Amino acid sequence: YGGGSLKAYETLPDPRFMFMHAPFNAALPRVIYVLRDPRDTMVSYWHYHRLTVEGFDLSLHDFIAKDDHWPCRWDEHVAGWLLKKRHPRLLIVRYEELHRDALATLSRVFEFSGMRYDMVELEKAVEASSFDRMQAAENEKGAGLVSAPMKNERFVRKGKIGAWKDEMDAECTRLLEEKYKAVMNKVGY
């Protein structure tokens, strides 16, 4: 999508679910915003770069220090959607709640979208998308990426909330929290 016209998607049947990292856009009919702790987000994003970007060699500290993350900094993205303009048809899903109770969270998503769902089918979908199954699928079929420059990296890595504590040293944590402090406090991190 990239923030341009949505005309290209008009012919797709309803309902249309699109996964994107777009900054705020009031033209979107409904938005399900997945909010995640920026410490876990940035560690995950750093590993993603290590997996997908040929020649990527920044340390986690240097990566966090940069301000040119796509499509924008974490705090700018979150503030754009949740603090400044606030989309009129917005459902906030915290990554942590999705992790803790996927079935209840997905039920809320379906209700918000106005879609009917069968609880048994939803339970099957949750089971099919469990961390272990996703990791097994990656082992079998790969991550679906064009290339994987860092062969020791995975797309489906840990599946753990708070994994940043295992990877970020005190200086990285201080830098990130200082950088995103205002928005982190406003959204409960």
Q: For residue range 51-67, list pLDDT tens digits in order.
A: 878 888 999 999 999 99
pTM tops 0.85, yes or no = no
Q: How high is the pLDDT of residue 25?
A: 83
Rounded distance between C-alpha atoms, residue 18 and residue 13, angstroms: 12
Distances (CA, A) of 20 to 28, 31, 124: 11, 10, 25
Q: For residue range 83-139, list pLDDT tens digits in order.
A: 977 788 999 999 999 989 999 999 999 999 988 889 999 999 998 887 776 766 666
Rounded distance between C-alpha atoms, residue 81 and residue 79, angstroms: 5
CB atoms near residue 56 (< 10 Å) = 14
Token pair listed for 44: 């995950």
Distances (CA, A) of 126 to 101, 106, 109: 10, 9, 13
Mean predicted lDDT score pLDDT of the chain: 85
- H or E element at residue 31: strand 31-35
The answer to whether the Cα torsion of 89, 82, 12, 128 is positive or negative is negative
